[in-house]
């Protein structure tokens, strides 16, 4: 399965997001994914299998528990492939950062407080 086929599914992306901070038990993953997506435990297990089979996740036994961890190698391959396309968004994002910094500097020089981003 191609990396983008794996990453194209929101459930699998969510599982990877959960694994970013470290390994988690299969039961913990099932609990979160079932609550967020309303899918069955066997469906979550199928997504975990796809992630394992495609190399995005590893699993190890710890007694009766199965602990899943992120394997970053396929993500590095995706990142390498994306390198060819970064020029389409890197320069515009750098220009935006420059404009934001310029606006902050001008407000500071005028003695205006920065805008409040908090929603009430």
Residues 7 and 64 in one domain: yes
The domain tally of the chain equals 2
Residues 55 and 95 in one domain: no
In this structure, the number of other CB atoms found within 10 A of the CB of residue 80 comes to: 9
Residues 67 and 11 in one domain: yes
Residues 79 and 103 in one domain: yes
Range with the poorest average pLDDT among 26-35, 66-75, 88-97 = 88-97
pTM of the model: 0.70
Q: Does residue 116 belong to any structural domain of this protein?
A: no
Residues 35 and 83 in one domain: no
pLDDT tens, position by position, 40-49: 999 999 999 9
pLDDT above 70: residue 117? no
Residues 8 and 51 in one domain: yes
Specify the pLDDT at position 69.
Answer: 97
Burial 31-69 (b: 16+ CB within 10 A, else e): ebbeeeeeeeeeebeebbebbeebbbbeeeeeeeebbbe
Residues 60 and 13 in one domain: yes
More confident position, 53 or 87: 53
Q: Does residue 25 belong to any structural domain of this protein?
A: yes
Residues 56 and 101 in one domain: no
What domain range is 49 assigned to?
3-71
Residues 64 and 12 in one domain: yes
Which neighbouring-strand residues pair with 25? 67
Residues 81 and 37 in one domain: no
């Amino acid at each position: 399965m191609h990396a983008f086929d794996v990453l194209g599914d929101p459930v699998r992306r969510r599982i990877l997001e959960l694994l970013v901070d470290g390994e988690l038990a299969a039961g913990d993953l099932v609990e979160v994914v079932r609550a967020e997506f309303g899918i069955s435990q066997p469906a979550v297990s199928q997504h975990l299998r796809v992630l394992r089979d495609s190399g995005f996740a590893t699993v190890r036994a710890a007694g009766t528990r199965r602990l899943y961890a992120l394997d970053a190698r396929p993500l590095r391959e995706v990142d390498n492939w994306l390198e060819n396309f970064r020029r389409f968004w890197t320069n515009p994002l750098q220009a935006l950062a420059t404009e934001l910094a310029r606006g902050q500097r001008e407000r500071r020089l005028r003695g205006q407080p920065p805008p409040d981003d908090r929603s009430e």
